[in-house]
Amino acid sequence: MTTVISIILVFGVLVAVHELGHFLVAKAFGMRVNEYSLGFGPSLYKHKWGETQYALRIIPLGGYVRLAGMEGDKTGDPREFPNRPLWQRFLVVLAGPFMNLILAAVLYAVSFGPVGIPTATTTVQQALPHYPAYEAGIRPGDKIVNIDGTPVTNWEELASAIVAHHNQVMDVTVVRHGHRQTFAMKTRYDKTLHQYVIGIKPQVITIHLNPLKALVAGVTQTIQLTGAWFFALFRLLGGHGPFDLTGPVGIAELVSQAAQSGLVQLLLLSAALSANLGLFNILPIPVLDGSRLFLMAVEGIRHKAMDPDRENMIHFVGFVLLMALVLVVTFHDIEHLFHA
């Protein structure tokens, strides 16, 4: 039950926040918004406040915004979306993906701050019997500070140093009860992990950043993820990367696994999914926000809007092709689940 709720919350919040971006900017520019809805299908509750209807619908996955003039109901009202200046329409469409990036940064900040990130340290929690570290004399509580003369300050540096000494003898310096001791040992290949190890498990602590540092770290993480996303996209377009998409079923499985792993993993996954949703939406694919942004950019160059019927046909064809792609990816995800 917890897993189902987690899936509904993640899918619902990501899409609802995306639509909230369109809604807030449209309202800020004085456009008429007919409806802001959370969910799809028949309404469970709806209330009209001012000129906008707010609705909670039965299928709790996402939501949508209906802007006046975008569904063939144009009346010449200057507050309708198509009649607003180009730059305002551009920002309204862009606000959806941008809100997903904002949400990603906030979720990362919450993870790094109030919730805290479990972090492996260089202090030994367990030295596995019959492995090199135990046989050399390493014991729980020892803090590893040096590998072959090179200081190590975190688990990543320690793990890299161990892998770098594959099948070699190395000197491991630890601090035990305030005193330094050095032990010589040879790494061993672990067939399960497929790498060289010395047989230790790290002590894990939860690190909480203060609010400002957590926010900076959240923004930094989002920027880094965005850069990696574009780098992967350019490699893919250049034929140098794998074409591997995950559909709704695959994402639901990832959310399920993260929910079972704990709140931190669920927040981190939700942040990554939010950023990816925002970035994917700026691609110039018909029916996505990126397609509307592209057409408005063309309008700005031509100083003339595209014929509405032609634009609607482009979005319709794009929707059909996108749904076909979703079905193919979903079939692949289901097949992967049965063969996992």
Q: Which DSSP letter does residue 152 get?
A: -
**CA dist., res. 249 & res. 164, Å (int):** 39
Helix (H) or strand (E) holding 33: strand 33-49
- CB-based contact 255:14 (threshold 8 Å): no
**CA dist., res. 255 & res. 6, Å (int):** 7
Rounded to 10 deg, the angle between the 289-302 and 86-110 helix axes is 150
Query: Which residues are known to be catalytic?
Result: 19
> Which residue reads 């064809």 in tokens?
317
**CA dist., res. 223 & res. 216, Å (int):** 11
> Which residue reads 């591997």 in tokens?
244
> Which residue reads 């097949």 in tokens?
335
Cα dihedral 318/319/325/330 (nearest 10): 170
- Cα-based distances in Å from 86 to 72, 92, 157, 250, 297: 18, 10, 51, 38, 9
**CA dist., res. 128 & res. 8, Å (int):** 41
**CA dist., res. 71 & res. 265, Å (int):** 40
